[in-house]
Structure 1
Amino acid sequence: MIEQSAVLGVVSVALGMVLSPGPNMMYLVSRSAGQGRSAGIVSLAGVAAGFLVYLVAANLGLAVLFAAAPGLLTAIRIAGAAYLLWLAWRTLRPGGASVFTAGHVPPESPRRLFTMGLLTNLLNPKIAILYVSVIPQFIELDRGDVLLQGIALGGVQIAVALLVNLAIVLAAGGLAAFLSARPAWLRAQRLAMGSLLAVLAVTLAVT
């Protein structure tokens, strides 16, 4: 039902988004570095719940919308490419801070950690636009049920995001200390992620 190129496209976009500095990464890094890995994992569970909310809400609405107005896919594709390009600039612009410079945070209860992870993701404009403007451009109306395609592609994005974020949570403490002593490595991280987002933006725009 879904072409391999669509899956690979979502994987590429998901990697570029999850590896670029944003509210989710900053929250998970700060909690993991400041309160330990267990706090980071609980926070990540909240982030995962936020992804599921977006997955269901966005696809139920998009299935009806695209069936009524297929031409909207072109507008959504352009909007998604523009957003990725803007995100690339924010990552690459001079003076930008790396997410791995997170400082100390006061400890919180597991319930609050989960809730804050959920709210951080639900209020993250990057994730909202990802589900509304980026992932839908990989949906093909002649490949079967739009709703199932959207859920499957969204599931791919969630799997990529959770695996990468889990790795970040487990390594946050040591990685933050390592990179904070090496400014050149921080710049290299920003350059690599910003460049990847820019390439993805151009690819979406011309496809």
Structure 2
Amino acid sequence: MSIIDSLLAFTFAATLLTLTPGLDTALILRTAAVEGRKEAFKAQMGINTGCLIWGAMVAFGLGALVAVSELAYSILKYCGAAYLCWLGIMMLLRPRGSLAGAERLETKAQNGFIRGMFGNVLNPKVGIFYVSFLPQFIPHGQPLIAWTFGLVFIHLLLGTCWSIALISATRPLSAFLRREKVIRWMDRCTGMVFLLFATRLALSKR
């Protein structure tokens, strides 16, 4: 896969994943509706910071694994493929009917930035997702750490743009994204994408 193809494929996949309603979306919507736009923007900056922290851990840890051991790389690859496959199957067979769980994001912290950051940093699924997802879009022979951070920044840019849209149109988008049919449809679409990426990752070569 060429560099342009990798960037286009990742941008498409990350856009779909960003638009799929999840806990980050729920946090932004709730914060904007209840605490105002300022706190919602703080929450988004916190989410970005959490993703950057995980991105750094993945970039340096993954780089060390790839450099040291072919076996470690293969284990990482197949574990990532299995994780994506499991997520995809669960989303296809058991799509959510609501954004239940958003309330669990509420902590004693009153600052939106803190809530957003710890909502990601304390969620190991974010790290596992980065490990299993990002390597598929790094062209062979390219610097792993630089590319990992580059892809993370694309993800952050997409997430920020989506959050700005959510914050700017909180009421109509909130009602739309909380519809049971919309959540189920987005979950199933994302599940199919996960299964395709799991197959691609399992069949890929170093």
Specify the TM-score bucket, using the shorter chain as the normaliser.
0.7 to 0.9
Counterpart position of 2:137: 138
* Structure 1 residue 118, shift from structure 2 partner: 0.3
* Structure 1 residue 141, shift from structure 2 partner: 5.2
CA–CA distance in 1 between the matches of 2:192 and 2:201?
A: 14
Counterpart position of 1:115: 114
* Structure 1 residue 129, shift from structure 2 partner: 1.2
* Structure 1 residue 128, shift from structure 2 partner: 0.8
Which whole-Å deviations, capped at 9, do the CAs of 1:46-80 have from their partners, x for residues lacking one?
10111121222221222222111244333333322
Gaps of 5+ in 1: none
CA–CA distance in 1 between the matches of 2:83 and 2:121?
A: 18
CA–CA distance in 2 between the matches of 1:101 and 1:115?
A: 18
CA–CA distance in 2 between the matches of 1:187 and 1:69?
A: 40
CA–CA distance in 2 between the matches of 1:137 and 1:189?
A: 22
CA–CA distance in 1 between the matches of 2:101 and 2:122?
A: 22
* Structure 1 residue 4, shift from structure 2 partner: 1.8
The counterpart of 2:174, out of the listed 161, 173, 176, is: 176
Contact 1:77–1:134 (CA under 8 A) maintained in structure 2: no
Which whole-Å deviations, capped at 9, do the CAs of 1:121-156 have from their partners, x for residues lacking one?
11223321122222124334523x332222222222
CA–CA distance in 2 between the matches of 1:9 and 1:58?
A: 20
The counterpart of 1:189, out of the listed 174, 177, 186, is: 186
Q: Which stretch of the first structure deviates more once superposed, 14-23 or 46-55?
A: 14-23
* Structure 1 residue 200, shift from structure 2 partner: 3.1
Which whole-Å deviations, capped at 9, do the CAs of 1:81-111 have from their partners, x for residues lacking one?
32223333443344722339978x99x98x6
Alignment of structure 1 residues 82-97 onto 2, 5 Å? 82-94=82-94, 96-97=96-97
CA–CA distance in 2 between the matches of 1:84 and 1:21?
A: 18
Aligned residue type for 2:130: Y
Q: Which stretch of the first structure deviates more once superposed, 160-169 or 50-59?
A: 160-169
Gaps of 5+ in 2: none
Counterpart position of 1:25: 25
Counterpart position of 1:64: 64
Aligned residue type for 1:158: L
The counterpart of 1:199, out of the listed 185, 190, 196, is: 196
Residue aligned with 1:99, SS? coil
**RMSD, matched Cα:** 3.3
CA–CA distance in 2 between the matches of 1:77 and 1:168?
A: 35
TM-score (normalised: structure 1): 0.76
Contact 1:73–1:137 (CA under 8 A) maintained in structure 2: no
CA–CA distance in 2 between the matches of 1:35 and 1:24?
A: 16
Contact 2:88–2:195 (CA under 8 A) maintained in structure 1: yes
Counterpart position of 2:145: 147
Mark the CA change 1:138 to 1:34 in structure 2 (over 3 Å): closer, same or farther: same
What is the percent sequence identity of the aligned residues? 26
